[in-house]
Every structure is written in structure tokens, then in C-alpha cells.
Amino acid sequence: MPAVIFPGPEGRLEGRFQPAARARAPVAMILHPHPQAGGTMNDRITQAMYKTFVARGFATLRFNFRGVGRSQGSFDNGIGELSDA
């Protein structure tokens, strides 16, 4: 699962992306639980969902919202986080 850093509205966002083996595969973006409740892209359920979609052939991305892990920015009560996605 390659690590990726990509630009977000408030700075760089940290993620993991697994491309699909075939062209024109469906895409899944896995969003982690609420960051103020300890949610990160490494949450066990987020990781389980990521692995499930990868196993089913999806190009799959999971990432940390602003202010979580190595993602830049700070928590924005859900408004900015929507922009991150």
C-alpha cells in the first residue's frame, strides 16, 4: 500500500493508495471516524474496509483529514473536512 501525500485545501494530506490491477476498475475512498474521537486512517475498521475494497479489485484510497497524523491543517468542525474529501 503505497504512501501518498497530496494537496488539500489547507495543506498536504497523508494517505495510502492502492491502484487497481485492471484499467477502468471502480474506485473507493475510505473516510476515517471523527478525528476528535481518535479516528485516523489507521483505525482498525478503516483498515479493514480498505483491505476489503483492495481485495475486490477497487482502486482504493484512505487518508487522514486535516490535522490528523501527518496531514496539515487543523480540525474544522466537519466543514473543512468535507473539502478534504
Over the stretch 17-54, which tens digit does the pLDDT of each residue have? 999 999 999 999 999 999 999 999 999 999 999 999 99
The predicted model gives 57-85 an average pLDDT of 96
Task: Reduce the DSSP state of residue 76 to 3 states and report it.
Answer: coil
Confidence (pLDDT) at 2:
86
Report d(CA 4, CA 2) in Å as an integer.
6
Return mean pLDDT, the chain: 96
Does the domain spanning 3-84 belong to CATH 3.40.50.1820? Answer: yes
- Predicted confidence band at 68 (pLDDT cuts at 50, 70, 90)? very high
Q: Where are the domains of the chain?
A: 3-84
The pLDDT score that the predictor gives to residue 23 is: 94
